[in-house]
Amino acid sequence: MKLLRILLSCLLAVTIFIVGIQPAQAFCGFYVAKADTNLYNQASQVIIARDGERTVLTMANDYQGEVKDFALVVPVPVILKEEQVHVGNPQILSRLDSFSAPRLVEYFDSNPCEVRMYESDAVFKSAPQAAFAERQLRRENSLGVTIEEQFTVGEYDILILSAKESNGLETWLIQNGYKIPRGAKELLRPYIRQNMKFFVAKVNLEEYDEGGFERLRPISIAYESPKYMLPIRLGMVNAKKEQDLIVYLLSPNGQTELTNYRTVKVPSDREIPEFVKAEFKDFYTAMFQKSYERENKQVAFLEYAWDMASCDPCSAQPLNQEELKQAGVFWLNSPSRNPRSIRNNVFITRLHVRYTGNKFPEDLRFQATGNRQLFQGRYVIRHPFTGTMNCSAANEYKRSVRDRQEREAQTLASLTGWKIDDIHNKIEFVKFQPTQWWRNLWN
């Protein structure tokens, strides 16, 4: 059945070509592997679903350690009420990751001695409850910290704070048992100057134990604000090395772009040697690091941009309507001022940011666009035909495959920085016998 579906997909691509409609990126092949977040030891994930000034931000908590020591401090543009906070299902992040991850695909050459009806390389172009004594309250006021809201949602005790001074906020958090690194005031100061509030969460151990959770669940917040940004600076306070961040941006329009950093597409549609199928994890991590260094470690990488209604090839099925709702998509089936607009549409942009404090001095700022150009990080393995070939074209085919294998080796070395000799040693080069000069004379 899988082969039948792929053949039908190829047939459809050819049919579209015949009738004169150019497909965005026609593709027929077998999906075999993906570069999801399992490639990284600690990759933070965030979902941002936004339409106009309405935003739903979902933060995955990949905290490793005792849950009693967990503390989350996130600058937010508005004061949030309890009804604006929701504890979500971690499976939604896994679904988005699987759907949008860069992928490895493979093709199989046909017998060069058989007549083919057509040939085309176009397929390759293709997110506390606590009682405060009056004395403690006076101390908080002296620090310039105000508790705007406090409530419990799921296993989290949540405070919404405002502050006048960064050193006062830092002192308050430490005095109240939030395990944040000392010296955080320098990074808190810009948010206070912008009059932003602070979403502060700790784990309610009683609720956590009663829920029988194996890990912390993601937190979603819904708000309205003209600010379209993601604060990443606080995450650098106790970072000892580079941080990986995957952002899934969901929009009813098109691609979402960064306004204060360059966005670069990951290298894509590159043909690489067959042995990479067994080493795809090593390949992608090496390739990403090489690209990161090539761009001076100061860009965001676009790994995927696609309409959620389809995928080609599918490394996972598109999210259904209920799953999209869990991901924060609030505009499904909502009335529209423009009757011609497609309100059920969801366009996903996947950005991968590897950052450090000195290379990313600002938080990420986004803008929505109407750009619906499709893109995916895709890497291609082409398997040579290995069956019996009894025709004059066989040696020419083998020669072309040998040349192709060398190009694939050079491409792999360029993408990853791997030594060309090591790559050559892993490739099973096709052997061919050159045509003897006299055969053309008598045959």
**Quick check: 363 and 229 in contact, CB under 8 A?**
yes
Tokens 């849950």: give the residue. 67
Q: Are residues 302 and 408 in the same domain?
A: no
| pLDDT given at position 238 | 58
Q: Which residue has the higher pLDDT, 186 or 152?
A: 152
Q: How far apart are the C-alpha atoms of 276 and 285, rounded to whole Å?
A: 12
Tokens of 331: 């505009």
Query: Domain ends where: 383, 403, 422?
Result: 383
Residue 300 covered by a domain = yes
Q: Are residues 84 and 50 in the same domain?
A: yes
Tokens of 92: 């939604």
Residue 109 covered by a domain = yes
Measured at the CA of 248, the angle between CA 247 and CA 252, to 5 degrees, comes to: 140
Q: Are residues 219 and 291 in the same domain?
A: yes
Residue 302 covered by a domain = yes
**Helices 134-143/166-175 angle, 10° precision:** 150
| pLDDT given at position 32 | 76
Q: Are residues 55 and 148 in the same domain?
A: yes
Cβ of 224: how many Cβ atoms within 10 Å? 11
pLDDT, tens digit, 9 for 90 and up, residues 229-252: 999 887 666 566 788 999 999 999
Q: Are residues 259 and 402 in the same domain?
A: no
Residue 122 covered by a domain = no
Q: Are residues 395 and 329 in the same domain?
A: no
Q: Which residue has the higher pLDDT, 11 or 137?
A: 137
194-208 burial by CB neighbour count: b if 16+ within 10 A, else e?
Answer: eebbbbbbbbbeebb
Residue 121 covered by a domain = no
Q: Domain count for the chain, please give it.
A: 2
Q: How far apart are the C-alpha atoms of 405 and 410, rounded to whole Å?
A: 9
**Burial class of residue 20 in the structure, from the number of CB atoms within 10 Å of its CB (0-12 exposed, 13-18 middle, 19+ buried):** exposed
Structural domain containing residue 205 = 24-114+128-383
Q: How far apart are the C-alpha atoms of 172 and 136, rounded to whole Å?
A: 10
Of 9-13, 52-56, 267-271, minimum mean pLDDT range: 9-13
Tokens of 346: 């969801």
| pLDDT given at position 126 | 38
Residue 12 covered by a domain = no
For residues 408-415, give the mean pLDDT: 97
- Phi/psi region, residue 328 (left: phi>0; alpha: psi -120 to 50; beta: rest), is left
Q: Are residues 324 and 417 in the same domain?
A: no
Q: Are residues 302 and 334 in the same domain?
A: yes
Q: How far apart are the C-alpha atoms of 337 and 165, rounded to whole Å?
A: 43
pLDDT, tens digit, 9 for 90 and up, residues 46-64: 999 999 999 999 998 777 7
For the cut 60, the answer to whether the pLDDT of residue 117 exceeds it is: no
- What is the spatial order of strands in the sheet that 229-230 belongs to? 229-230, 364-368, 256-258
Residue 120 covered by a domain = no
Give pTM, 2 decimals. Answer: 0.84
**Burial class of residue 216 in the structure, from the number of CB atoms within 10 Å of its CB (0-12 exposed, 13-18 middle, 19+ buried):** buried
